[in-house]
Amino acid sequence: MTRDPASPCAESVLLHALVDGELDVANTLRCEAHIADCPACTAELAQLRDLRAALAGDGIAWRAPDELRTRIIASLAQEEGYRAPVRPAPDRGWLSRLRDAASGWAALPSGLALAASVALAVMVTRPDEGNDVSKQLVAGHVRSLLASHLTDVQTSDQHTVKPWFLGKIDFAPPVVDLADQGFPLVGGRLDYVDGRVVAALIYKRHKHVINLFLWPSGGHAPKAGAIEGYNILGWQQAGLTFWAVSDLNAVELKEFQDDFAERAPR
């Protein structure tokens, strides 16, 4: 029996997560492919995006005060019998708060951790954040460390990492071995930046992780900078845009760029 195109679709439960950017790369691609063939989900997705745009308008969204986090955690801690020092923290930026929350809430009961994470999301989401590519890159770097999803393919063999990307993205990322330069290859994964699926190559320098994001050139000119203690270094080469993100110091990150650029195709 053919389903009525106007009736609700079982796959629509994923639309909210898609709009909020909560799906991983595989489920994002699966959901987008379904939407292309489902009029009901296409219409519902348009409504969700219109609603999201309306809620993001001026005069509608406000940032919750830092004191709210203190009151919520204190109240939840009292209910759960969890005792921990609670004190208001200075506003040190959304990434600092995210790192603190991830480490501090790991020991909480699951219900308490979930409620606290919702409170954090309210506080750290701002209308002016999330559109800049450099912020997306740093967020992707931090997310890969917090979620223990640093690699999809974990190996130091460049000849294993490079073919792993075949058929998963529409370009061939250059993978070079820099172990002799002090930057051993750890592996690779897929990520999602600036509205497209990109490649991420993972290198290390001692205990520091380097996420090297890359995709075909176009759109945004690479630049160097720093956000919340993370250094960012971008360049273009062989028709590709490269962005290296790490808490490694700027001098050594520049050494990594020079070493990689020298061995990668030009």
Single out the residue of 56, 76, 57, 85 nearest to residue 117, CA to CA: 76
- Given this model, what pLDDT does residue 105 score? 45
- Given this model, what pLDDT does residue 219 score? 61
Strand order through the sheet with 208-216: 153-154, 185-193, 196-205, 208-216, 240-246, 230-237, 225-227
Each residue's pLDDT tens digit, 79-120:
655 444 444 455 555 555 555 554 554 444 444 444 444 444
The helix/strand/coil state of 22 is coil
Domain that holds residue 38: 10-55
Q: Tell me which H or E stretch contains 234.
A: strand 230-237
The helix/strand/coil state of 192 is strand
Tell which of 74, 102, 124 closes a domain.
Answer: 124
**100 and 221 both lie in a single domain:** no
Single out the residue of 34, 114, 36 nearest to residue 73, CA to CA: 114
Q: Is the residue at 4 inside a domain?
A: no
**153 and 93 both lie in a single domain:** no
- Given this model, what pLDDT does residue 110 score? 43
**183 and 242 both lie in a single domain:** yes
CB 198 within 8 A of CB 169: yes
Q: Is the residue at 5 inside a domain?
A: no
Distances (CA, A) of 186 to 96, 178, 202, 256, 261: 26, 11, 5, 14, 18
**77 and 187 both lie in a single domain:** no
- Given this model, what pLDDT does residue 24 score? 76
Instruction: Map tokens 């590519």 to a residue.
Output: 133
**88 and 115 both lie in a single domain:** yes
Q: Residue ranges of the chain with pLDDT lower than 50? A: 1-3, 82-88, 102, 105-131
- Given this model, what pLDDT does residue 86 score? 46
- Regarding beta strands 196-205 and 185-193, do their DSSP bridges make them parallel or antiparallel, or are they unpaired? antiparallel
Residue 235: which residues within 8 A CB-CB, separation 6 or more? Answer: 222, 241, 242, 257, 261
- Structurally, the chain folds into a number of domains equal to 3
Q: Is the residue at 2 inside a domain?
A: no
Q: Tell me which H or E stretch contains 25.
A: helix 25-36
- Given this model, what pLDDT does residue 123 score? 40
**110 and 185 both lie in a single domain:** no
Residue-wise burial string across 49-79, b where 16 or more C-beta atoms lie within 10 A, e elsewhere: eeeeeeeeeeeeeeeeeeeebeebbeebbee
**201 and 176 both lie in a single domain:** yes
- Given this model, what pLDDT does residue 213 score? 96
**256 and 150 both lie in a single domain:** yes
Dihedral, CA of residue 104, residue 106, residue 110 and residue 113, to nearest 10? 30
